[in-house]
Amino acid sequence: MRWYNYSIKLINVLIEFGIFLKKQASSAIFGGLMLFFLLLSRVVAVPGFHRYDVLFVVAVLVQLVLIVTRLEHPKEILAIIIFHICAMLMEIWKTSPAVGSWSYPEPAFFAIATVPLFTGFMYSSVGSYIARSWRINNFRFVNLPKRLILILLGLTIYVNFFTNVLVQDARYLLFALAVVIFWKTKFYATITSRTFCIHPLVSNALFAGVIWLAEQAGTFSRAWIYADQSDVWTPVSFHYFTSWYMLLIFSFIIISLIYKNDEEIKSN
């Protein structure tokens, strides 16, 4: 009888885990498609068109399909627009000759300065995933910081991405500040009948790890390259994991402001 009960519990856990994976796959549909076409573009070329321009057109078409089929909701579309703008501004600065943190080795017609327009969608896919995940999992928050505190922390993190090449990088100080601000914050996600408690700083760390791994694939396909990858591909430094982690805290803040006091995301 004991083994029977253990078997039932194991089956229930596997079922819930499968549902969890399905929800995550649904949340990451835009990012997953972008990564797929990014890798595909490395081996399949469209005659007469630049690779980056094809990726830009594909990203726009994917977004139109998601909107028409209502897989993207209005709040998620808003998140994509905000992230696209923020990303393009940061990309223009980071790829400028004065900074040169990374570069795009191929030409593009749809570009601003040194930045192909498809890159904004890579960042937007992160915002899309977070926004869709919040809605699909029906997150319920406890002790979410005040709006003014979130805005000030988000602005400081974003500004640091521009100033960290001019003055001392404050990312670790900002991380410590984020720990203090979000220390009591938790959110609850209900998969089926069970509710799980998660800390946003932990979930952001896990997601940053996934993005860091995806970036290995992106640079391997030479969609973009860092300064130490100009001659031969080398793994992306762990330093960029911390960059993504801070960007995800910024992303979390943006999405929380979009959904603040919204019926879709309940906060206690």
Domain count, the chain: 1
* Residue 184 CB contacts under 8 Å (≥ 6 apart), including other chains: 142, 143
Would you state the pLDDT for residue 163?
93
In 3D space, the residue among 139, 122, 128, 137 whose CA is nearest the CA of residue 74 turns out to be: 128
DSSP state of 114: T
Task: Indicate if the pLDDT at residue 132 is higher than 70.
Answer: yes
Would you state the pLDDT for residue 10?
65
Average pLDDT, the chain: 85
Burial class of residue 30 in the structure, from the number of CB atoms within 10 Å of its CB (0-12 exposed, 13-18 middle, 19+ buried): buried
CA distance 133 to 4: 34
In 3D space, the residue among 17, 28, 122, 127 whose CA is nearest the CA of residue 71 turns out to be: 28
According to the 3-state scheme, what is the secondary structure of 14-80?
HHHHHHHHHHHHHHCHHHHHHHHHHHHHHHCCCCCCCHHHHHHHHHHHHHHHHHHCCCCCHHHHHHH
Please give the model's pTM, rounded to 2 decimal places.
0.85
Degrees (nearest 5) of the Cα angle 61, 55, 110?
Answer: 95
Would you state the pLDDT for residue 173?
93
Mean pLDDT along residues 205-222: 86
Q: What is the pLDDT of residues 143-191, one digit of tens each?
A: 888 989 999 999 999 999 999 888 888 999 999 999 999 999 988 877 7
Task: Indicate if the pLDDT at residue 215 is higher than 90.
Answer: no
Task: Indicate if the pLDDT at residue 265 is higher than 90.
Answer: no
Q: What is the pLDDT of residues 89-109, one digit of tens each?
A: 999 999 988 888 888 999 999
Top-confidence residue, 9 or 120 = 120
Q: What is the pLDDT of residues 30-71, one digit of tens each?
A: 888 988 998 899 888 899 999 999 999 999 999 999 888 888
Give whole-number Cα distances, 151 to 4, 16, 128, 181, 229, in Å: 52, 35, 20, 12, 35
Would you state the pLDDT for residue 125?
87
Range of the domain at 194: 2-267
Would you state the pLDDT for residue 118?
92
Would you state the pLDDT for residue 249?
92
Top-confidence residue, 263 or 181 = 181
Backbone angles phi, psi at 23, to 5 degrees: -65, -40
